[in-house]
Amino acid sequence: MINSEDVVLCPVTPNDYELILAWRNNRKINFGFYSQATGHEISWEEHVAWLKSRNEDWLNFMIWFHGRRIGAVTIGNLDHWAPEIGYYIGEITLWGQGIGTEAVRNALYYLWSLCGKKWARTTIIDENAGSIRVCEKLGFKKIGPARPGESWYQTDLQLLFAPPKQE
């Protein structure tokens, strides 16, 4: 069983850029990204420009598992009442072991405990059953349509991390 402590989030550094590009261009991973639906191969220059274009309201974490970098979590719109989370496990042989869920849980805990956020959101392509399941396990509810073939999901962080006490 995977515990949250096994899965550590550390800020992305330029040393991680090459690995992230390889993951972003991997069809088995990027099928879950709406922006990659065209199958466009991202060049190194586009990739670095994209990373550098991110503003202060955007956080980018590497997921470390047992001392190795195995994926990434991003948090956008940090100034919004419900920041937007994105995630992938780049090392696909590790899928289905609970690591994705624990990585997203850790990012949500960061938002709740350090940023004081009460809600978090994400968009998921409707065919992405694995990602929908990750979100279900973290209390996300579908709240409505996003772009065609994609839906918005939202979770209540208070309920996730400080559930009401049972009498």
Ligand X SMILES: CC(C)(COP(=O)(O)OP(=O)(O)OC[C@H]1O[C@@H](n2cnc3c(N)ncnc32)[C@H](O)[C@@H]1OP(=O)(O)O)[C@@H](O)C(=O)NCCC(=O)NCCS
Stretch that binds ligand X, among 35-43, 55-63, 123-131, 138-146 (CB under 6 A): 123-131
Q: Are 90 and 19 in contact (CB under 8 A)?
A: yes
In the shown chain, the binding pattern of residues 91 to 110 toward ligand X, with x for contact by CB under 6 A and - for none, equals: ----xxxxxxx---------
Distance, in Å, from the CA atom of 92 to the CA atom of 99, rounded to the nearest integer, reads: 11
- Asked if 63 interacts with ligand X (CB under 6 A), we say no
Considering only CA atoms, which of 25, 26, 31, 32 is closest in space to residue 124?
32
Minimal distance in Å, beta carbon 165 to ligand X?
27
In the shown chain, the binding pattern of residues 17 to 56 toward ligand X, with x for contact by CB under 6 A and - for none, equals: ------------x--x------------------------
Residue type, 84: E
CA 50 to chain centre: 17
Distance, in Å, from the CA atom of 8 to the CA atom of 14, rounded to the nearest integer, reads: 18
> Toward ligand X, which CB reaches closer, 39 or 164?
39
Binds ligand X (CB under 6 A): choice among 89, 107, 111, 157? 89
Question: Contacts with ligand X: how many residues (CB under 6 A)?
Answer: 19
- Asked if 88 interacts with ligand X (CB under 6 A), we say yes
- Asked if 139 interacts with ligand X (CB under 6 A), we say no
> Toward ligand X, which CB reaches closer, 95 or 161?
95
- Asked if 129 interacts with ligand X (CB under 6 A), we say yes
Distance, in Å, from the CA atom of 27 to the CA atom of 7, rounded to the nearest integer, reads: 24
Distance, in Å, from the CA atom of 158 to the CA atom of 167, rounded to the nearest integer, reads: 18
Considering only CA atoms, which of 10, 33, 8 is closest in space to residue 102?
8
The site for ligand X (CB under 6 A) is made up of 29, 32, 87-89, 95-101, 124, 128-131, 133-134
